[in-house]
């Protein structure tokens, strides 16, 4: 049986102000770039960690 979808919670008062302040602080914060893995290195790691044998 499917689960009922709950309504989206609504923040009011103190919680709403705290959430808005948090979002406003985080919007202006800078995030450093994240290095993406090299595809060949990832492929090597996958092949090295897979189990031997076939199903």
User: What is the pTM for the complete model shown?
Assistant: 0.43
User: Do 11 and 19 touch, CB atoms closer than 8 A?
Assistant: yes
Residues 7, 37: Cα–Cα separation, whole Å: 39
Task: Output 14 or 28, whichever has higher pLDDT.
Answer: 14
Q: Greater confidence, 36 or 19?
A: 19
Instruction: Summarize the confidence of residues 7-22 as an average pLDDT.
Output: 92
Across the range 33-48, mean pLDDT stands at 83
pLDDT of residue 46: 85
- Whether pLDDT at 55 is above 60: no
- pLDDT at residue 53 above 70? no
């Amino acid at each position: 049986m499917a689960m009922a979808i709950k309504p989206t919670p609504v923040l009011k008062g103190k919680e709403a102000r705290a959430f808005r302040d948090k979002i406003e602080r985080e919007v202006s914060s800078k995030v450093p770039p994240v290095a993406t893995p090299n595809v060949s290195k990832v492929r090597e790691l996958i092949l090295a960690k897979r189990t031997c044998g076939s199903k």
